[in-house]
Structure 1
Amino acid sequence: MKFSKGKFIEVVEKSFSESEKMPPESMLFSYRGILYPATLSSPETLEALKSFETRSDDVILTGYPKTGTNWLDQMVMELESADAKRTEEEEKERINAEKKLESFPRLEFGDPGTYERMKKLPSRRIIQTHLAPHLLPPSIFQSKAKILVLIRNPKDTAVSYYHFYNNMPLLPSFSSWDEYFAAFMNGKLAWGSYFDHLVEWNKYIDHERIMLISYEELKEDQILGMKKIAAFFGFSLNEEDFHRIAKKTSFQAMKEKSKETHGKFGDILFRKGVVGNWRDLFSKAQNEEMDRKFEECLGGTKLAAKVKYDVYCKA
């Protein structure tokens, strides 16, 4: 969902203000064994999500938190916009419709009535979520909508999520990296276990309407990655479009504009945007523990090859 900047900042700052009054133990709620931020969603919202009606032309973007989803979201919105060639009036109509959602641009956020309001959004809707497959509404898999799944090496994901967790007012902080690492390995974080998330998506790796792309391959060659994404969704762009969008959505460009686009959330959201930052925090024992866990969960899978674990996660 292409949220208007002003509305996004307003919703963010309202949530931050609400979280200041909450004790850490009240910041998360559990739904079907997985934790979620209480200021952004509720069990009632996640129950209502089951009845969400997907359209065949919906563009579904999904990835575990801190795998680069904000970067991917912006890229895909720019690609879709370049393909659609909407008039200024049509673009204004889309933004006005999205203002009425009154929530963050994630499928699982908002009040239970958000899905009724989403019916009023004009097509093509770009729908973003952090949810694993078994928590997505059935209509997503029953429709002809295409799903783009972003994955990232688990060591960098863990480190990025650690910094996010400790800087995000809506989430309870950890007293140390070691305490956080144990929670990450056991899936005791918002949105649950990253390993479970990867194992589930690996089952869909050959599905014709689902494409997995890695954060690392987008960092290696963003233009090539965007061309793959455009081909998957059937977007038609010229070479100039790809270069313009790559420049506009570089990490540095997005970080520089983050105050304008995301308000206070900008500094939390855009930290380093690099590959290999895990080496700064992992101990030898933690390194070996995650290697064993990844091998147990995903060793020899197509997803392991896609994320290039041996390239990006070996000391």
Structure 2
Amino acid sequence: MALDKMEDLSLNPVVSRAKLMEMEGVAVTQPIYSSYDKVRKFKARPDDLLIATYAKAGTTWTQEIVDMIQQNGDVEKCRRDTTYRRHPFLEWNIQEPPSLRYSGLELADAMPSPRTIKTHLPVQLVPPSFWEQNCKVIYVARNAKDNLVSYYHFHKMNKGLPDPGTWEEFVEKFMTGKVVWGSWYDHVKGWWKAKDKHRILYLFYEDMKENPKQEIKKIVKFLEKDMNEELINKILYNTSFEIMKENPMANYTKEFQGVMDHSISPFMRKGVVGDWKNYFTVAQNEKFDEDYKKKMADTSLVFRTEL
């Protein structure tokens, strides 16, 4: 990311839009592309936990649930720092301007064990050391239509991503995988397949919305923790959309000013299932469904687009 203007950078650095590059058939931003060799060589540790998702599929929500479980429901400890510093975003890296510098890789390397790390990488681009060390992974998948809508709004407010263009243009880009982190279809299918070989807890955003308590219990069990009902209820409350939306340590308002413009769209926008109905035209929906059927014909994965 380069600077466009030089005035008043300390308060509000102006960031130019990221460019899209292709890496092993997957679209990524230029900074991810240029640092990927280092990412691939990342040394995972056996007690690392990886939280993997396609972007805007409930990542921050899951991170907050995991942190609350790890900190035994201690709200103050969970507010010790922002989400992206508590859980390094492995492949994300911003070098310019210096005031916004962020390297998930450097943060992770410097962090004491046990670490929780976040990634949006498709399964085939995850550093091999995670598999070699038999690390646990939590993957969250969200239905394509809602994921697309959320990702569109995120592109509009986040200058760290390429310009989304119009809604119509973005729908096309999403369907053809010409968006950062590549094809949604390949992403969810790749991780679904990988769960048969690795220690992966595969969760669905829609299940988390419908019965968050049940899904929290699944995570607690996966992390081999023992928690009573009272503690689970505390986690349930503190990781609700309403509470998290007001939490500066989770809602991305504390850093990255100049990159994220929350006046265009808040980072935590709606957090619902079925919002796609407010955006897709009848024609778009028909075309999308037809394309979806073809792309998802080779998987047992089933998604719900409404509750």
TM category, shorter: 0.7 to 0.9
| Counterpart for residue 37 of structure 1 | 29
Distance 2:135 2:148 in 1: 30
Alpha-carbon distance change, 165 to 116 in structure 1, aligned in 2, over 3 angstroms: closer
Aligned-partner SS, 1:303: coil
RMSD over aligned Cα, in angstroms? 3.2
| 2:192 corresponds to 1:202 | yes
The TM-score with structure 1 as length reference comes to 0.79
8 Å contact from structure 2 (residues 189, 299) kept in 1 = no
Distance 1:291 1:15 in 2: 45
Written as runs of structure 1 = structure 2, the 5 A alignment for 1:1-315 is 17-19=13-15, 22=16, 24=17, 27-38=19-30, 41-82=31-72, 105-110=88-93, 115=105, 118-258=108-248, 262-263=252-253, 264=257, 265=260, 268-299=266-297, 301-304=299-302, 307-308=303-304
Alignment coverage as a number of residue pairs: 283
Structure with the largest fraction of helix:
1
Return the offset for 1:15: 12
AA aligned opposite 1:237: M
Distance 1:233 1:259 in 2: 23
Alpha-carbon distance change, 277 to 240 in structure 1, aligned in 2, over 3 angstroms: same
The unaligned stretches of length 5 or more in structure 1 are 1-12
Return the offset for 1:14: 7.9
Distance 2:48 2:10 in 1: 29
Return the offset for 1:31: 2.8
Aligned-partner SS, 1:160: helix
AA aligned opposite 2:169: E
Deviations 1:156-202 (A, max 9, x none): 00111111111212223334211111111111111111111122122
AA aligned opposite 1:272: K
The unaligned stretches of length 5 or more in structure 2 are 1-8, 96-101
AA aligned opposite 1:109: W
The TM-score with structure 2 as length reference comes to 0.81
Deviations 1:115-136 (A, max 9, x none): 4663331111001010001110
Alpha-carbon distance change, 157 to 129 in structure 1, aligned in 2, over 3 angstroms: same
Distance 1:46 1:72 in 2: 25
Aligned-partner SS, 2:217: helix
Alpha-carbon distance change, 200 to 261 in structure 1, aligned in 2, over 3 angstroms: closer
Distance 2:248 2:297 in 1: 38
State the identity as a percent: 32
Distance 1:34 1:252 in 2: 34
Return the offset for 1:254: 0.9
Deviations 1:12-41 (A, max 9, x none): x9897251xx2x4x5434333333334xx3
